[in-house]
Amino acid sequence: MIKKVFGLKKLALYLVVIMCTYFISSNYFYPLKNPVGAVTYKWGSRGNIVVEIQRRLKAWGYYNGGLDGVYGYGTYLAVRSFQSVNGLNVDGVAGDNTLNALGINAGQYSTGTNTSNNNYDSTNNNDLMLLASLINGEARGEPYEGQVAVGAVIMNRTRDSRFPSTIAGVIYQPGAFTATVDGQINAKLETSSIRAARDALNGWDPSGGAIYYFNAATATSAWIWSRPLIKIIGNHRFCS
């Protein structure tokens, strides 16, 4: 009988060691790095990047908890809701695609690295790169002035009470921009798009205060054609 009890204790201890090894090796409760270096944030993750995820989700109405930097159930549900609305894989995990959709560059934010060569802090640098991605998806191939004008429209909307007050909120407002629907926002980023985003952030507005623009060759909406025209730059008509 003594030998049997001792054997059961050894077996139980062995199983506990195996389970602990699995959770540690699989990073079950922490950010998971995949073989190519991407970082995934999920239930149990903690830190500044989680605070930023919560902050953006809260600003857009998906999350109503505190900005505690803990990826708990509330954050998980908010991420799932955001993923569902934006056509992402609904798994409650903030991986590359979800972070990009949120406008978060995890590497730059977590390290505090500033690669924009100006005075933007890490959060604003995320805005710079998100705006650049939108410009790239909507206006690459257009004249440089037209690229800046597209960025200026985003900035003008953030100051207009009819639209969200943040760059990410404007860009990811459902159905607002074709590039977020067809995936062109994730196209390979061109240098000119980054420069155009920086110029728009710094106040250059070639659009003349426009809050709408559209491509005359492809637009089919009678409503958008009814908007008062401010100017034409390249293939885009900028309107109020």
Q: What is the pTM of this model?
A: 0.51
Give the Cα separation of 208 and 210 in Å (integer).
Answer: 6
pLDDT of 1-31, one tens digit each?
545 545 666 666 666 666 655 444 444 444 4
pLDDT of 71-101, one tens digit each?
988 999 999 999 998 888 999 999 988 988 8
For the chain, the straight-line distance linking the first and the last C-alpha, in angstroms and rounded, comes to: 87
In the three-class reduction of DSSP (H, G, I as helix; E, B as strand; rest coil), residue 210 is classed as coil
Q: Using an 8 Å Cβ cutoff, are 148 and 101 in contact? A: no
* Over residues 155-173, mean pLDDT: 91
